[in-house]
Chain A
Amino acid sequence: MRIINKLLVICTTLAVFGLSSCTKDFKSINTDPNGIYPNQVALDYAYLGEPLNQAQLNIYGYIDYVYQIQQNLNADIYSGYMMSSDPFYTNNQNNTNYFMIDAWNSQFWDLAYNSVMAPIATVLQSTKGNAQFAPFYAWGKILRVEAMHRLSDQIGPIVYSHYGQLNADGSSTYDSQQDVYTTFFSELDSSIATFTAAEATGLPAPFAKFDLVYGGSYAQWLKFANTLRLRLAIRISNVSPALAQTEGEKSLSDPAGLLSTASDNALINIGSNEHPIDLISESYKDINMGAPLLCYMKGYNDPRIPFYARPALDSAVKGQFIGIREGIVIAGNDPGYYYGYSLPIHFSSSSGNSHIQMMTAAEAWFLKAEAALRGWAGAGNAQTDYENGITTSFNQYGINSAASYIGDGTSTEQPYVDPKAYTPGQNDVPSGNPNLSTITIKWNDADPFATKLERIITQKWIATYPDGQEGWSEFRRTRFPKLFPVILNNSGGNISTDKFIRRMPFAPDEYSSDPNGVSGAVKLLGGPDNGGTPLWWDTNPK
C-alpha cells in the first residue's frame, strides 16, 4: 500500500508537471522577433504606408544585384544604353547575345510580384471602400500601374486583374496585354479622381511620410499619373489608335497637367543605399556604356555627355567617350578586356544623382510632341514640345541653354570603331552603314511623319537615359532610334538579329509553379514564348 501511495504521489506530481507547464507561452515563443505583425504597426498608418514605401523601392530593384538581373542585363542593354564587359562565367553566352539565362530571367517577375504586387495587395485589401483610407488606395494603384506596365512591357501577358484568386485547378489567370492596359487606364482614372478630390480639401496627404518621390504632394502625383497615362496611351497608339487618343487626350486636358519642368521629375529616394547602377558598374565591374548612345551623343556634340558617362581608361581608347557594342565577342572571355571603355557616370550623392529616375518632365514633353504629331487635342505644337523636351532634359543636368543644340541641323550619329574587336573590324559601324542613323536634331516641320517621329524618339531616348526599360519599349514600338544589331546571336534561331529581341520569355519560375497558367498566357501572347514574339503593342513589321 505504501508503494501504491508513493506511486500515486509520483503520478500526480508528474501529471501536474506535465499539465501545468502547458502550452500557454507557445504563441509568444513562436512569434518571429524580427517580424512585424499587423497589430504592431497601426500607428501613423504604418501598416498601409510601409508596404507602399517598399513598393516604390522595388519598382527598380534597389538591393544588391536585383536591379542587375531585373532590368540591367536585359532592357538597359537592349535599349542601346549600356553593355556588359563581363562574359559572366557563362563563356559569354547570356542575355546580351540573346542566350536567355533562365536563372536571371525570373528576377523581374519575382520582384514585381513579391515586392510590389504583394505589399500593395495588403494595402488595397485594408483600404478598399473606406473613405478615410482612399488616398492610400489611390496611391497604391498608381504605383502598381507604374511597376506593372514595365513588367508587361518586358513579357506581355501578366497576372493582374485576377491577382489573389486561383482557379479550381490551382492555376492563375493572366490578362492579355491589351486587357491589362485597359485596366491600367481605368485604375489611373479612378486614382486621378480620388487625388483631385483629396487635393481640393487642402489637407496634407496621409502617406507623406512614406512617399519617397513627392513627399505627399497630391499635385505632383496628379502630374505623374497624367504623364503615365499619356505614356501608356502613346505606347498603344499604333495598335489601338482610338483608345490611345481617348486616354491621351484625358491627360492632355486634365487641369492638373503633366510633368513640365525638371523639378517635377519623379525620382525615387533610395536613402543611403548605393545606387544599383553604381553598384553594378563600380563594385561588380559588370556594366559599361553602350556603343549607340555615345555614338549619338558624340555625333551631336551633346553637352550632357559628361553627365552620362566617363571617358574610357583603356589605353586603346583612352580619354574617348566610347561604349561597348551590344552582343559582341569578348576576347578570352576576359572580364577585364573591355572594362576600360566608358563607364556610366557615378550615380551617387556626391554626383547629385543618387535617386532612381522613374519618369522625367523631358519625357512628358516628348510624349506631348508625339501626341501633337498624331493630332491629339490639347497636345499643342509638336516643335515646341520637342524643343521643350530637349531644354528640360538639359535643365535636368544643370545646362541652361539648349539653343545651339536645338538649332543643329547637320550633326548625326558618329560611326562606331572598336579597336579591340576580337576579329578586327567586326564590331565597327562605319559611315553609310544602314544601322547608323542619319537623323539630325533640328526640327523641320516639312519632314514626313516618320522622320519627325524618329527625331522625337531619338531625342526622347537620349533624355530617358538611364531607364533602359522605357528606351527599349519605345525602340520596339517605333524602331527608333537606330541601334546596332548584335554580332553574336545565341538565340538558337528564336530571335532575328535584324529585328532585335522583342520581349523577354516568361519567367522560368512561372513554368514550375503554374504550368497551366503559363500555357494560358502563351495563348494570349499569340506566339511562341521566346524573345522573337512581338508584344501586342509592337506592331512594327520590321
Chain B
Amino acid sequence: MRKKHCQHRMIICLLGLQLFCFVAARSQSAYAYNGKSIRAVDQKDRIEENEKRESLFNALKELNRTKGAYFLFSEQSLGTKMVNTPTGNETSIEKALDHMLKNSGLKFRKVNEKTYVILSKDGVSSAIEARPVSFTEPMNIGPVMDNVSSIIVADLISGKITAADGTAIAGVSVAVKGTRKGTATNAAGEFTIDAKKGDVLVVSYIGYQTQEVTVSDATTLSITLQVGTSQLNEVVVTALGIQRQAKSLTYSVQKIANDQLTTVKDASFVNSLTGKVAGVTITKSSSGIGGSTRVVLRGNKSTRNNQPLYVIDGVPVTNYSPAQPGDEYGQSGVGYAGIDGGDGISNLNPEDIESISVLKGASAAALYGSAASNGVIMVTTKKGKAGKTRVDVSSSLTLDSRSYKTPLQFKYGQTTPPSAGLPGSLDSWGSVVNGPNFVDPFFQTGVTTFNSIALSGGTERSQSYFSYSFTDNKGIEPTVSLKKHNINFRQTSKFFDDRLTADLNVLYVNQQAHNRPSSGLYNNPLTGLYMFPRGLDFNKYKKFETFSTLRNTNIQNWWDANYDSVQAGHGQYGGTFTEQNPYWLLNRVTSDNSLNRVYTNFSLSYKINSWINLQARANIDKTFNDIDSKSFATTSTVLTGNNGGYGLLTLTNTQLYSDLLLSGNRHLTDDLALQATIGTSINDNKIDQYNYGTRAQGDGLRFANVFNLENILPANFTVNHTNTSHKQVQSAFATAQLNYKDYLYLDLTARNDWSSSLAYTPVEGRGFFYYSGGLTAVLSDMFKMAEPITFSKLRISYAKVGNDVDAYKSNPPQATIDNQNGSVTNTKGPKPGTYLKPEDNRSFEVGTEWRFLKDRVGFDFTYYLNNNFRQYVEVPAPPGGAASSTGQVFSTWYLNTGNIRNQGIELSVSGTPVKEKNLTWTTTVNYAYNKNRIVSIADPAAGITQDYQTLNALGNLLYASYIKQGGQWGDIYGHFFKRDAQGHMLVSDNGAPIAGTDSTKAVGDASVKKLGNPQPRYTLGWNNTIEIAHSWTIGFLFDGRFGGKVMSVTQAALDANGDSKATADARDAGGVTLNNAVKADGSKFGGKVDALTFYNAVSGTNGIGEYYMYDATAVRLREASLTYRIPVQAKWVHSLSVAVIGKNLFYVTKKAPFDPELSMATSNFLQGVETFGLPSTRSLGASVKLSF
C-alpha cells in the first residue's frame, strides 16, 4: 500500500556526492569502521570579529566545496537563517561551523567523520530524531556544486522495526546496500531513509540477525528482527567492557543472549550455560536449587583455583562460597551440618541479564589480569531504553522431582532382627521380608516459582531500568526451602551536550535458604533413609522424637538411638553418627543461610572529542552471609555436645573496585584505524569470616536446646577467623587494536599488576607484567570467495598471564592463635631461601570461522594450548626441613613449581536447516575436547622430590585425589583390586577379592592407586529452536558429557549394608559371578562368590574404590520449551507469550548410579565423588511473559 501523506514524500537535499547519515545510537566503535578521517591542520588563526553574514544554506555549500563535508538539517526552515560567513581560514570544519553558527540560535552535531547535522538549539535536540529535510528555497545549488549533477528527489522509505515479541527497537542500523546511505531507528523503532524500489536495505542490530530487505512498491516497511544465532556479525563485549565487532576478535568468544537464560530458567543462571557454550564444564553441588556451581573453562589449570572470573558490566565481581564440604563426611566447618553455602554469582536475577560473553582463553582475558587466568564470564545487564515506558512481567512455576532413583532393595531384611532389649543390626543381609519402599514417599514434589517485573523507559538523555524478582523454592526434601528477592535499579543519563554519560547500577539481593541440603555422611537425612534396616517399620519414626523422662524433653526417636535406653544400660541404643533419623535431622538439626548483598556500580564516561573518551568507574560490592546451625540434644554425640550444638558463621565480603580508562578510536590513514585504551585499576577485596560454635565434645551448650552464643559452655566454645583474606591488586594496562581495511586486525595488550599478596617478596615493588597479542584475518573480505562462502576468518593469539598467590602466603605468621589454647606454631611458609612468584600461564589459540550459503550454516573451530607454569603448591617438606633465619622450620613449603597443560579443541556448528515462511529451525552443536596433563610437579633441582600434590588424602575413606606428575588434574585414587601379572583379579579361596598394594607408593599411600579422572573427555551440546508460524517456538537442548570416571561412595555404603539393589540382585542370582578371577595358588576361581562374602570384601566407605568407579558418560535432554506468542490486539500490550518448560527431562544414557554432573563440592576438592547427595531434579512447568 502506498501512502501519500505529504510528510512521507520529501525531497532531501544532498550537499556533496553522498549524504551518509549515521546516527549516534550505534556503538561508538562503529564510527571507526565507517568514516573517513579528518586531516586537521594545526593553525592558530583567530576568527575575525568583523563578521560577514549569509544564509546558512550558502555557507554550507561553500564548506562542502572547500572541505568535502556533508550536512543535514533538522528543519527545513533552517536553510534561510542568516549565519556568519566562514573566513576560509578555519582549521577544521568544526571551527568553521562554530564560527558560522555563533549567535544564530543554531548548533551542530557531528554524526560522522564528515557529516554534520544542523540543529536548532531549542528544537529537536537529538541526532536520533533528526530527519533529512528538504529545502524549499532558496535552492541555488546547481552552479556551485560542480560535483553534484542535480538535486536528487527521491521517495523516502519509512518503516518500523520490532523484535519478535512486537517491541519496537531503537537504534537499529538501516543502510542501503552498496551505498553509504544509512540511518537508525528512533525510540519508536521508526526510520526514514532515502531509497528507491529495488534497493536492498541492510538492517542490523546487536544481538539480532542481520536482515536484508528489498524495497518493493511499498514505502512503509514493517520489519521483524530475529534474535541472532550466529555470533559473527555482532558486537560483543570484551574485557573491561570494551565493545568490539565479533569479526575482529583474535580469540574465541561465545555469547549467550537473555532468552537462552530465561526461557528455561535456573535459579543460578550459570547452570544455563551447560551445552550452550563449547569448552565450559559445569558441575553442580548436590545441594539442590540455589546451590553453588563449579565452572571450568578449557580444563583445570591450577592447583588452587580453577573457576573463571565473573565480570558484571565490565567490573570484576567476587564469587565466594562461604562453605563447601571438605571431605566425604561432609564437614565444612560450619556448625555441624556439611553445608554448601552457595556462591556469589547465583545471586543475579537472570531476567536482568542482557547477554553473557564467555571469554574462554587467557588471550581473551589477558586484559583482566591475574584474576582472569581461568577465563572470564562477562555479564552485561539490562539498561533502560528510551521511549515509552515498558513493563515486562515474567512468571514461571516448575515442579521438581528426582530425575533418577538411587537403586535400592527392599526385599531382604535386617541381618539380625531386633530382640528383647536389642535393636538388631545395621545391615540388611537377612532373610526375605519384601518390605515396603519407604524411600520414594520420603521425597516430595518440589515447587519453584519465579516472578519478576521490570520497568524500563526514559528519554534520549536519561533512561531507567527497574526490576524486582522473587524466587521461591520448596525442595524435594521435606523442610527445604529457598527464597530470593532481587531488586535492580539502573539509571543512565547524559549531560553536557551528551558528552558525559553517567551510569548507576544498584543491585540488592536477599536470600534465605532453610536446610540447604548437603551431601556427606554427617547429619545427612539420606544416609539414615537409604540404610534403614529392611523389615523395620520406617513410618514408626516419622514421629522423630519421643519424650524422655530422664531429660524432661523430647529426644531423638530412632530404631537404634534412644538416650533413655542407653542410660538404662542398653549401649546398643547409642545410635551411629552416620545414620540418624532423617526427620530428626530435618527438624532438629537445621541450618538457615541468610544472604544480603548490595552491589553498586557507578560509571562516568566523558567524550573528550569525537575520538577520545575518558571513563571512570567505581564499584562497591558487599555481601553479608550468615549461616546459623542448630543441633538439638540427642543428636549423635560424635557430632554435637550432650546438650546440643550451635554454630554461627558470619561472612562479610567487601570488594572495592575502581578504574580509569582513556580510549581513543581513530583512523590513522584511510585504510588503517586504531582503537586503543590505556587505563589503571585498583581492586581491593576483603573476606571476613567468623565461625563461632560449640565443639563436638562435652555438653556443648549450658542449657540444652537453647541456641545462642552466650549459652555455649566456655570449655566447648570455639571461634575461628581463618577463612579470612584481604588482597589488593593495582594495575596499569593498555590495549590497542589496529584495523587494516576492516579485514585484518592486530590486537595487543599489556598489563602490569601489583598484588598485595606478593608483598614481602621482590615482586612487591615491580609487580608482574604480562601481555597478549593476536591477529585476525577476515578472509572473505580480503579475497573474493566462492559464492557459497559468506564469511571466513582466521585468528591466532598468544597470551601470558600471571596469577598472584593467596593472601598472607608470602608473609606467614610465626604462630596463629587457637582461642582455647593460645598460640599454635605455624609450620607452613615459603621454602627458606626462595620467595613466592606469580603463576605463569601461557596460552596459545588458533581458530577459524566459516559461514556459508548466506549464513544458513557455519562453524567456528578453535584449538588451544595452555601451559600453566610455576604452579603454587604446598608440599610437605622433608622432616626437619631447613631452618629459616628466625629458626622457624616449616614442615610444609609454599613453592612455585611445575606445569599443568591443557590442550583441546572446540567446535561450534550452527545452521538453519529449515527456513520457510512459517517454519524456521535453527540449530547449534557445541563440541569441546580437552586433554589435561600434569607435566611436572617435582623440581629435583630445587630439592623438591615429591612429584604429587595432595588434594584429598584417603583418610579412612573411599576417595583420595592427588595432582600427580604424568597424571591429570583431579585424578581419583582409592583402594584397588590385587591382580596377577596378567591382570586377573586375585581372590581368596572363598572368592573374596583382595585389595592390592602399590609397592611403589606412587602417592605415598601404598593402599591406593589411580582409579580414573572425573573430567569428561569431550562434551557435546545440541541446541535447537524451531519457529512455527511466527508464534510458536519450540526449543530443546540435548547435552552430553562423554568419558571420565566418577566414584559413588553412596553405592559402596549401600552395598556394605546390603541395602542396594545390586546386593539383592546378587543374592537372587545366588552370588556374584567373577570372570577371570584367580586364587592365590594361581588356579582359576570358578563359579560364584557368595554375595555377602563378595560385598564384605569390596564395599563400605573404605572399601575397594576401584569397584565403585563408574563411567561418567551421560546424555540428557537438558531443556525443552514450547512457547506460544499470543497475538493480542490490545494496544497496550506489546507481547504476551506462554510456555511449557522442562529441565533435565530424561537421560538418553547415564551409566553411573547418580548424575555425574553432581559433585559433593564445587571447590577443588571432592570432584567426581558422590556421597549421599540429593539426586538431581527433573523440572516441568509453565511460564508467562507479558510486556506492555
Contacts and interface: CB of A to CB of B under 8 A. Distances in A.
Given A54-B822, A113-B880, A282-B637, A274 B698 contact: yes
Interface size class of A (residues with CB under 8 A): 35 or more
Interface string A157-198: 001001111100111100000000000000000000000000
A98 to B, nearest CB: 14
A305 to B, nearest CB: 19
Interface in B883-922: 883, 886-891
Contact of A118 (B730, B757, B825): B825
Nearest to B569: A313
B876 A32 contact: no
Contacts of B808: 30-32, 35
Nearest to B953: A103
A404 interface: no
Interface string A509-526: 111111111000000000
Interface stretch (A74-82, A87-95, A388-396): A87-95
Interface in A321-352: 332-337, 339-340
A34 to B, nearest CB: 5
A90 B728 CA distance: 46
B340 interface: no
A423 interface: no
Contacts of B386: none
Interface in B945-973: 945-946, 948, 953-957
A318 interface: yes
Given A509-B876, A513-B875, A283 B814 contact: no
B889 A514 contact: no
Contacts of B614: 10
A117 B678 CA distance: 53
Interface stretch (A16-24, A229-237, A361-369, A479-487): A16-24
B880 A166 contact: yes
B1056 A91 contact: yes
Contact of B956 (A26, A104, A165): A104
B813 A272 contact: no
A170 B679 contact: no
Interface stretch (B1-9, B248-256, B860-868, B1094-1102): B1094-1102
Given A35-B815, A38-B886, A53-B822, A103 B680 contact: no
Given A166-B881, A332-B415, A117 B679 contact: no
A279 B425 contact: no
Contacts of B1148: none
A339 B574 contact: yes
Interface stretch (B207-215, B397-405, B790-798, B1001-1009): B1001-1009
Interface string A11-44: 1011001100111011101111111111001000
Interface stretch (A119-127, A255-263, A409-417, A437-445): A119-127
A125 B817 contact: no
B944 interface: yes
Contacts of A25: 728, 756
A35 B660 CA distance: 35
Interface stretch (A1-9, A129-137, A213-221, A464-472): A1-9
A340 to B, nearest CB: 3
Contacts of A282: 637
Interface in B688-724: 695-698, 714-716, 720-722, 724
A248 interface: no
A422 interface: no
Interface string A274-303: 100001001111000000000000000000
B1006 A36 contact: no
B813 A37 contact: yes
B178 interface: no
B878 interface: yes
A118 B891 contact: yes
Contact of B756 (A26, A33, A62): A26
B1017 interface: no
Nearest to B1006: A102
A242 interface: no
A199 interface: no
Contact of A114 (B572, B714, B891, B956): B891
A74 to B, nearest CB: 14
A517 B954 CA distance: 24
B790 to A, nearest CB: 40
Contacts of A313: 566, 569-571
A118 B1004 contact: no
Contact of A30 (B576, B807, B878, B882): B807
Contacts of A170: 878, 940, 942-945
A140 to B, nearest CB: 11
Given A102-B954, A113-B880, A122-B814, A26 B1102 contact: no
Contacts of A3: 608-609, 612
A26 to B, nearest CB: 4
Nearest to A319: B569
B436 interface: no
A48 to B, nearest CB: 11
A115 interface: yes
A336 B576 contact: yes
A222 B881 CA distance: 32
B523 to A, nearest CB: 15
A14 B609 CA distance: 18
Contact of B759 (A23, A121, A164): A23
Contact of A26 (B759, B813, B826, B827): B759
A36 B814 contact: yes
A271 interface: yes
B891 A91 contact: no
Given A10-B614, A23-B759, A29 B880 contact: no
Given A54-B822, A164-B889, A515-B945, A336 B815 contact: no
Interface in B566-625: 566, 569-572, 574, 576, 608-609, 612, 614
Q: Which of B44, B571, B765 has the most CB of A within 10 A?
A: B571
Contacts of B811: 27, 30-32
A332 B429 CA distance: 10
Contact of A508 (B680, B815, B1006): B1006
Given A166-B880, A273-B715, A102 B1007 contact: yes
B76 to A, nearest CB: 34
A51 interface: yes
A164 B886 CA distance: 12
Contacts of A18: 680, 730, 732
Contacts of A123: 887
B1102 A89 contact: yes
B1103 interface: yes
Nearest to B805: A30
A103 B954 contact: yes
Nearest to B887: A125
Nearest to A127: B887
A118 B816 CA distance: 14
A37 B829 CA distance: 13
Nearest to A121: B889
B36 interface: no
B448 to A, nearest CB: 36
B760 interface: yes
B427 interface: yes
A312 B1028 CA distance: 78
A139 interface: no
Given A313-B566, A336-B426, 15 more contacts: A10-B614, A10-B662, A14-B662, A29-B728, A31-B811, A32-B808, A41-B823, A46-B823, A54-B822, A54-B824, A102-B1005, A118-B888, A340-B572, A512-B1003, A513-B875
CB-CB nearest 9 A-B residue pairs? A35-B813, A125-B887, A170-B943, A512-B1004, A340-B571, A272-B715, A514-B878, A164-B883, A513-B876
7 contacts: A23-B759, A51-B825, A54-B825, A125-B887, A172-B880, A315-B421, A318-B569
